[in-house]
Structure 1
Amino acid sequence: MKKTVVLFAFLAAILSGCTTKSSKYHYVTVPNDPTNGRIYTLANGLTVYISHYNIEPRIQALIATKAGSKFDPHDATGLAHYLEHMLFKGTEDYGTADYAKEKPLLDNIDSLFEKYRHIPMTDTAGRNAMYAEIDSESYKASHYAIANEYDKLMTAIGAQGTNAFTSVEQTVFQENIPANELEPYLQIESDRFSHPVMRLFHTELEAVYEEKNRHLDNDFSKVDEAEMAMLFKKHPYGTQTTIGTIHDLKNPSLKDIINYFHTYYVPNNMVMALSGDINPDSAIQLVDKYFGGMPSKPVPAFIPPVEAPITAPEYKTVLGPEAAYVTIGYRYPGADSREADTLDLVTQLLSNGHAGLFDIDIKQQFKVLDAYAWNQTMKDYSVLTLQGYPNRGQTLEQVKDTLLKEENKLKTGDFPDWLIGAVVNNLRLQQMQQDRSYQSRAYSFVSAFTSGQDWGCLQDEVNRLAKITKKDVINFARRNFNNNYVVIYKKTGNDTAVEKVQKPRITPIQTNATLASAFLKRIESEKVPEIKPIFLDYKKDISHLTVDGILPVYEVKNNEDSIFDVYYLFKIGNQNSKLLDPALTYLEYGGTSDMTPAQVQQEFYKLGCSYNTFVQKDQLYIYMSGLTQNFVPALKLMEKVLADIQPDTAIMRKVAGVIAKNREDNEQDKYYILFQGMYQYGIYGEHNPFNYTLTNDELTDLKAEEITDLLHHLTSYPHHILYYGPESPALLATQLTQYQKLPKQFDIPPKPSEFIQQKGDNQVYFVDHDMKQAEIIVLEKGGRYKQADAPLSSLYNQYFGGSMASVVFQDLRESKALAYSTWCSYNNPSDTTESCYNLAYIGAQADKLPQALNGMFSLLNDTIPDYSQLWSTSKTEVLKNIETNRIIRQNELFSYEHDQKLGINHDIRQDIYEKVPSLTFEDIQHFHTNKVSGQPYTILVIGNKKDMNIKALAGYGKVNQLTLKNIFGY
């Protein structure tokens, strides 16, 4: 149990303490912990979790503090999040060319911001004048700042995934580093958390404004905030948000941010999680060396407000442009409570994606379009969320009633007796899958620490869930599912109450990209043990089999655990048949001659196996995963379903309704419109793979027999199998021979429709959408794929637009504060029949669009700036990534598939590794000039027309406003 009163005795039983002969550091372990985690506590109180797992020579490194938004002062919300951003700006030692000269200017900026925040919001002239002074002083200070030097340091040591996030109870800083770079990493992070400097604040403030506006454009975020505000009238979970209010964002205090850092960023309030190819004994010595000197001090106690019971449902409506849905929220005790375990189980009983009550009794029965349940376990309270999407013609009130009626079955015990056991077994499988990821281990460690949960308790949870009985579930439901909920109706409409954060006028700052601090030079010069790359040998690493003389099978042996993953890859896709998409949807709802649709889904779940399908323009995947002991039953079941799925006119009619409603919802999703529909339109033109689909009328007229005939015939089309699992090749071949019904010869698939990639003609395609931001893509068609270009394009992408240290990011975000997110990438096609494309992206406030586009095109068309430091670290990053990243498990199979389609017969990374060291800056400049600069382009823009400067867009070519009919085709 998790209850506090029994915790001490429980810990004494399951924890063991150790001190190795070679180390003076005491640590705690948990018996039968599959992560083999060690938990250290340094003398200054810093908690350190270490898990050794040498699947590849890298380490997932996380540093976190119990400093989330619930600790923000009520009159300075967003402080923890602000600080997260500022801890990327460097220290007294790096991020600066001369800190002694920079500091007086920074001190003055601090003071100016204090004056600024006390000028009344109504005094526009006074605030503008003060901000102009801040802007002027910030420009002077930027002459000494070296923007993004933290990112350059991480690039220099080969780090990946440089980022951070803030939530209600934690701020987490994340890096994935080469195993031989642990000491340099610790040196950098020690300085980062000991001597941070809040420089380049006013441009980073712009980035936070952009983030807030993106948040306001996200309907899901708005609903989540509403749910928390209704559940928590006193607790900061609901009374304030992580990103903060617009008022507080407009009135920041650097002094408050610094005080917050000194209050909460102390070792006794922090954790470091290291997981991967690491020696715990030597690692803890290094951690102590660089972090042991950080002084500890008491942290203010947080006394959680006690919420009053919810005795009657509360309702709220949220408006936004995206699809309508209903959310129901319940509030429960926190992580350290008796209820936490049962809530985890109950959530899975309701919704597990396969055989939960929502899955079988609601979704399978077409009672709503979609339904989910999930829970958040936080330190002080937990939240259970139910969510449902309506069918066409269905009201949100009806969806709400359907969810509550289904939930009520837990009170009466109206669910199968076997379901609890099946949930527990599937949770064990999920835990196994999670533990085989060294990255997941690190995040689990951090979550345990920041939520105040004991690691042993977390590891033992599935065993505790196995002891929960059906009666326990019934009693829990009767106690906790009453009128104690809140309801949010998310309706499609214009939210006139949303206020966008207006951008202040700022002068582009100096980024000093050619400079490097002595700290960076020292890190670069440090010698670390060599790690040699390991390249795939497709002939040796993959077993090549042929079943019945016709079916190719490619196998990679799983020597780690008992999990299998199998993929059927059919050489038939959407361009061959418009029926494939509806056929795969029908597969989710259809039954066989002796199994109902529900029984099919339940049987897969009982086996601890899952399956998914996915179709592209030229191929179709069917994927299964589970425990090897159930591989044969799962294989037989999958084959049975494909061969025996039955036509049902009523189900077909309802499937058509599901697809039609999903289409309507997708038409309201800005990212789906841009990155799916508009992107394909920009590549192929009006006739493209995205809109090559059945019209709604054709969908309505579709016969169930047409769909089932296609599914029955599927295995008669050319296909092959990818298998990752413990079985030997010989046994696998025997099993497939026995249970796969294959023709003597594969049939020829229907002739594919042809789609022609278009060369840009300098036109703009625009979609009017209700949103605060503008999202922009610039496409430039390149030539056909050439293996010889792989080293050039890899280095070009790293240097020019592929990271926070890149030319594009430094110019558009760091210097000019024109975008929250921006990048550029020269992308390879999926096969030899198509062309490469350069893709540049900007996510910005709509009123910044003219400057942002101008800035991007200047970078695309001018010669690339020559930053020697960035050039050096970019080369290092490319090489270190190849040295320390391993293509493993089923990814070996996918790498082989990818390379085969491009006509590559070996691991292309070997070419990159051998040739990048000799590439010169002139080579990259030549690549840019020939492939990107001055090329015909297509611009894709989605945003609110009334906020757009259409005249500015017209300066780039004819502006074509696309309708959703143009994009979606139906």
Structure 2
Amino acid sequence: EHMMFKGTPTIGTKDAKRDGEIIDEQERVRDAMRAEEAKMRLALRRGEIDDIQKPENKTARYRELEAEFKALLEEQRKILVKNEFDRIYTTAGASGMNAFTSNDMTGYFITVPSNKLELWTWMESERLLRPVFREFYAERDVVFEERRMRTESTPLGKFQESLEALFWESHPYGWPVIGWPSDIPAISKAQADEFYSVYYSPQNITLILVGDFKIDEAVKLCEHYFGRIPRGKKNPPEVVTAEVAQKVEKRMNAEAEANPQVDILWHSPAAGHPDGHALDVLAAVLSGRSGRLHKSLVLGSEVATSAFAHQMSRKYAGMFNIGGEAKDPNKPGDVEAAIYVEVERLKNEPVTERELQKVKNNFAAMAVRRTSSNFHLLVQLIQAEGTGDWRTINTEIPSILKVTAGDIQRVAKKYLVKENRTVATYTRKEGAAVPDDPALAGLSADQQAVVRRITSQIKAEKNKERLQQQFSAMEAQFGQADQKQQGLLKIIMVKIAERLAELSE
């Protein structure tokens, strides 16, 4: 994902010939460094060193090679044109260039003026046809630092990663999207090249255009420019490892620098399965300020300060998630027990017609709001195509409107059972500080600052329509976000919902 912004042989460098030579020389040095790394891993297995990342554990030859590699980097940086790819777009009036990687897909998106459509087709096809992975190892280190920041430097990051690994027993979804800490530093450019040749081939790419353009003209431009890219020699391998049926409840207990809380995961079907929409409606019945969890756990028994439910349908398998944060002096177990009461109620008592219709109306209203901007439409198309078929955006609401109270009872009985769940309970680590806002517990200082800033903006906003659009945008992004980002989105979405409630009074 990062390397695709580095340019091409003609974009991003002052001297393409020397740039290519330096990259080849860097790989020669890196091959020698990998041989030394193999020696260090052997020393680690023998107990001679405790961590191959520590400078003092590196071999003398490795340090020599590091110095040689650094010199090559410095020479390359003198001929680089930093961010030229972005500058070309920006000069042409484009904005919002970004990318994301989730469990099922990687996506790149940007907004360009209608009269710059040909520029877009040339730029995007050019970087697919002739990518240059400049500063590969420097960017690899950036990814490692991103992992450290998002996962290892946050109170719940590592625990959430452990929870996913526990939940997914056999499916590759158990691997973190960003990678394991020992894998990232070991990735070579040759491995990245091989990955690129398989997964970035035309037969595995979907172009999505949303906005004001003429279809015939767009098709001709795409055929002209993207048609230059030869078909890949290999198709991406089929994912054949399916998740094994869970037979017993799994539990994980952790002490963290966060407020006491519980997170419960159940296995659910993949995107496109007919039960998915019933689970979406079930989650909506439980969630929100007018949902059952808030009414029962937050306003009723006051066992929790917040609670949520969400159905996440991925391409190959799904996950139904319910969680809540305990209100002092209650414990995570108290919240968990209260959640199960509501789950059993769904199994034994049909949802009322009034409650069901309210949820369906909300889904229909959200669908309308999602057509309010090109970006909202783009996100929906990316999500739908990445997990199955883009056409499902036309059938989603009709399918949801057909969900019955009986369907909700049926899927609750089928999926929300003890032997199908994995439970994580988090208790406050002794000596951990309590933030002023309990909702910020579990976030780093930087993340708390971001949420506080956004919260102040939300509180100052008086336009309900604008707030609703922001809520819809975040909801649309939720499925693409990693677990930590989802945690932040949940907090901000709750703040928006609270502000909307205030404005409605």
- TM-score strictly above 0.5: yes
Matched, 1:92 2:9: yes
Select 1:294's aligned residue among 221, 224, 229: 229
Partner of 2:282: 346
Contact 1:304 1:380 in 2 (8 A): no
Change beyond 3 A, Cα 1:112–1:478? same
Contact residue 113 and residue 254 of structure 1 kept, 8 A: no
> Against the structure 1 CA distance between its residues 359 and 148, is the aligned structure 2 distance closer, same or farther, given a 3 Å change threshold?
same
1:402 aligned partner: 338
State whether residues 113 and 252 of structure 1, in contact with CA within 8 Å, keep that contact through their aligned partners in structure 2: no
Question: Residue in 2 aligned with 1:460?
Answer: 395
SS at match of 2:209: strand
Summarize the alignment of residues 930-969 of structure 1 with structure 2, pairs less than 5 Å apart: none
Quote the offset at 1:665 in angstroms: 5.1
Contact 1:227 1:329 in 2 (8 A): no
> Matches of 1:721 and 1:194 in 2, distance apart?
48
State the AA in 1 paired with 2:169: K
Cα separation, 2, equivalents of 1:347 and 1:146: 49
Partners of 2:156 and 2:442 within 8 A in 1: no
Q: Does the aligned pair in 1 maintain the 2:279–2:408 contact within 8 Å?
A: no
Candidates 228, 247, 262, aligned match of 1:311 = 247
Fraction of identical pairs, as percent: 23
Kept in 1, the 8 Å contact 2:155–2:442? The answer is no
Closer/same/farther in 2, CA of residues 303 and 722 from structure 1, 3 Å limit: closer
> Which residue is equivalent to 2:19?
102
Aligned with residue 75 of structure 2, among 136, 140, 164: 140
Question: Does the 8 A contact of 1:223 with 1:490 survive in 2?
Answer: no
Q: Deviations over 1:535-582 (max 9, x none)?
A: xxxxxxxxxxxxxxxxxxxxxxxxxxxxxxxxxxxxxxxxxxxxxxxx
2:168 aligned residue: 232
Q: Which has the higher helix share?
A: 2
Shift of 1:202: 3.1
Which runs of 5 or more structure 2 residues have no equivalent in the other structure?
Answer: 44-56, 467-505
Unaligned regions of 5+ residues in structure 1, if any? Answer: 1-83, 496-659, 680-689, 691-719, 726-970
- Asked if the contact 1:411–1:474 (Cα under 8 Å) also holds between the matched residues in 2, the reply is yes
Match of 1:276 among 211, 215, 223: 211
**1:252–1:112 CA distance, 2 compared to 1 (3 A):** farther
Could you list the per-position Cα deviations for residues 697-727 of structure 1 after superposition, in whole angstroms to 9, with x for gaps in the alignment?
A: xxxxxxxxxxxxxxxxxxxxxxx987979xx
1:230 maps to amino acid: L
Q: Structure 1 residue aligned with 2:296, among 361, 375, 400?
A: 361
Which of 372, 381, 390 aligns to 2:308? It is: 372
Deviation at 1:244, TM superposition (A): 1.2
Task: Say whether 1:671 aligns with 2:446.
Answer: yes
Match of 1:337 among 268, 273, 290: 273
How does 1:527-926 map onto structure 2 within 5 Å?
663-664=437-438, 666=440, 669=443, 670-671=445-446, 674=449
CA offset at residue 312 of structure 1? 2.1
Distance 1:134 1:481, change over 3 A: same
2:440, 2:268 → 1: CA distance? 34
Partner of 1:127: 62
SS of equivalent residue, structure 1 residue 241: coil
Partner of residue 420 from structure 1, selected from 349, 356, 361: 356
Q: In the alignment, residue 417 of structure 2 is paired with which amino acid? A: N
Cα offset, 1:354, TM superposition: 3.3
> In structure 1, how many angstroms separate the alpha carbons of the residues matched to 2:377 and 2:158?
31
Aligned partner of residue 435 in structure 1, secondary structure: coil
**Secondary structure of the structure 1 residue equivalent to 2:98:** strand
C-alpha displacement at 1:675, in angstroms?
5.1
Give, in whole Å, the separation in 2 of the partners of 1:183 and 1:279: 12
Deviation at 1:218, TM superposition (A): 3.0
Q: Aligned pair 1:151/2:86, yes or no?
A: yes
Partner of 1:176: 111
- Kindly indicate whether the alpha-carbon contact (under 8 Å) linking 2:350 and 2:409 is maintained by their aligned counterparts in 1: no
1:433 counterpart (352, 366, 369): 369
SS at match of 1:393: coil
Aligned residue type for 2:257: P
- 1:674 to partner: Cα distance: 4.0
TM-score calculated relative to the size of structure 1? 0.43
The alpha carbon displacement at 1:457 in A equals 3.0
- TM-superposed CA distance for 1:310, in Å, is 1.8
Residues 318 and 488 of structure 1 are in contact (CA less than 8 Å); yes or no, is this contact kept in structure 2?
A: yes
On the 8 A contact 2:309/2:323 being kept in 1, the answer is yes
From 184, 187, 199, give the equivalent of 1:252. Answer: 187
Change (3 A) 1:156 1:383: same
C-alpha change, 1:339 and 1:117, in structure 2 (3 Å) is farther
For these two proteins, the number of residue pairs brought into alignment is 435
TM-score, structure 2 length as denominator?
Answer: 0.80
Render the CA deviation track for 1:778-817: whole Å, top value 9, x for unaligned. xxxxxxxxxxxxxxxxxxxxxxxxxxxxxxxxxxxxxxxx
Distance of 2:166 and 2:285 partners within structure 1 = 25
Q: 1:111 and 2:28 equivalent?
A: yes
| One-letter amino acid matched to 2:21 | P
Instruction: Indicate the larger mover: 228-237 or 377-386.
Output: 228-237
Rg comparison, structure with higher value: 1
